[in-house]
Amino acid sequence: MKKLFGLMVLIGLLAVACGGGPTGGPGAAATEAPAAEAGEGEVQLAPQLSVYNWADYIDEQVLADYTERYGVEIIYDTFASNEDLLAKLQAGASGYDVIFPSDYMVAQMIELGLLAEVDAASLPNFVNIGEEFKDPPYDPGNTHCVPYQWGMTGIAYRNGNPAFADGPPNSWAYLFDPAVMEQYAAEGINVLNDQRELLGAALFYLGYSPNTTERAELEAARDLILAAKPHWQTFNSEDYYSTLMESDEIVLSHAWSGDAAQAYWNTFDEATGTGNWLFTVPVEGAVRFADNVCIPANSQRQETARHFMNYLMEPEVAAAITNFTFYPSANEAAKEFIDPEILNNPGIYPPPEVAAKLEWLRGVDDAIFIYDEMWTAIKGQ
């Protein structure tokens, strides 16, 4: 298989060398280059592709391999939250070809006309995606995106800190109740700089839905957050696991599961057989998310973007990404290449009793304006 593939790449390279291909003349060189066959017929690949993703959410080797195989240079940039990504696109940012919004944001972007139609089922590697990730309510028929990775949002805490000696901090009270936080707040607490996630956590704690559209409930969540905020050191959802957790700047963080797992493995000590950071899912409930690969409607390189999307769904590629990011893959065929330690880790693949506590964020229609208003109050004060 590998050999055959190598041969196809070679043929592709020869075609480039000979100036072959339908648009291979010198005048066409700036926009398109003849491409290697990738299983979906002859595609004209652009020389560059601009990819906009969450921080540390891909193995860079996977990008380098794509460039090596297909000659497409990848311009890579990262964002901190779905809302940041949306704001960028709404501000008219053109130039992004591949983006990675979460479930509820996919629905919002489709409604706003921000995503290109992709017809995922027409991509040869779509067969590798697990059945439970196909045809999701936020993108019926996978007409716009392909599922990428998923995870959960909970609390990461410093292993060995006396404040957590009696058991894991498995309640949102550890993030919101000043009386509880008193024991460790001086050692540093971080929350995700993400409006749906932080308001969602507060709503769970108050016993409300993380998708509420009720102003009174959202105001209660805002007030809870404002009362807790003086005890928090940072709002960081981009590099908190490396700059704050692994470097022991804090002892507790609102965290995404794979980020916490990265901090665990990056601080793993052979002698003690454990890492410095552990992860727990609060009893009141927590967010489960699925991130997706999509193409902005204004991308000028949609064929190349689709080609890259298809590449990301190769089982070995999807597995390499999970082995690097510690987030479960939506790619079922990738499982046989994923490190068993990851597959068997309950902090990464939740057991049924934890999974039962998880809820999806959904679009909240016009209530999004109330969320925005609460967030402005939270960040402004």
Residues of this chain that interact with ligand N2P (CB under 6 A) are 54-57, 102, 256, 259, 289, 291
Say what the alpha-carbon torsion angle 234, 238, 243, 248 is, to the nearest 10 degrees: 60
Nearest distance, CB of residue 122 and ligand N2P, angstroms: 26
Residue sitting closest to ligand N2P (CB): 54
Which regions of 164-310 does DSSP assign to beta strands (E)?
Answer: 189-191, 234-235, 252-256, 277-280, 286-294
Q: Quick one: 106 or 180, whose CB is closer to ligand N2P?
A: 106
- By C-beta, is 82 or 310 nearer to ligand N2P? 82
CB closer to ligand N2P, 69 vs 362? 362
Nearer Cβ to ligand N2P (28/354)? 354
Half-sphere exposure of 189 (CA within 13 A, CB side): 24
Cα separation, 59 vs 63, in Å, equals: 7
Between strands 145-158 and 252-256, the pairing is antiparallel
Angle in degrees, CA 86, 92, 95, rounded to 5: 95
CA 260 from centroid of its chain's CA atoms: 14
Residue 377 beta carbon to ligand N2P: minimum distance, rounded to whole angstroms = 24
CB 116 within 8 A of CB 144: yes
Q: Assign 1 to helix, strand or coil.
A: coil
Shortest distance, position 105 Cβ to ligand N2P, whole Å: 9
Task: Give the residue with the Cβ less far from ligand N2P, 102 or 233.
Answer: 102
| CA distance linking residue 322 with residue 204, whole number of Å | 28
Q: Closest CB to ligand N2P among 257 and 280?
A: 257
Point out which residues pair with 331 in neighbouring strands.
129
- To the nearest 10 degrees (0 to 180), the angle between helices 60-70 and 315-325 is 150
CB of residue 194 to ligand N2P, shortest distance in Å? 8
Q: How far, in Å, CA of 173 to CA of 167, rounded?
A: 14
CB of 263 vs ligand N2P, minimal distance in Å: 11
Q: How far is the CB of 288 from ligand N2P (least distance, A)?
A: 10
SS3 254: strand
Q: How far is the CB of 82 from ligand N2P (least distance, A)?
A: 7
Judged by beta carbon, residue 44 or residue 257, the one nearer ligand N2P is 257
- Please say whether the beta carbons of 293 and 177 come within 8 A: no
Cβ nearer to ligand N2P, comparing 102 with 302: 102
Give min distance, CB of 291 to ligand N2P, in A: 5
Between 54 and 174, whose beta carbon lies closer to ligand N2P? Answer: 54
Query: What are the start-end ranges of the H helices in 31-150?
Result: 60-70, 82-90, 103-111
Spatial separation of the C-alpha atoms in residues 137 and 117, rounded to whole Å: 16
**Closest distance between ligand N2P and the C-beta of residue 330, in Å?**
13
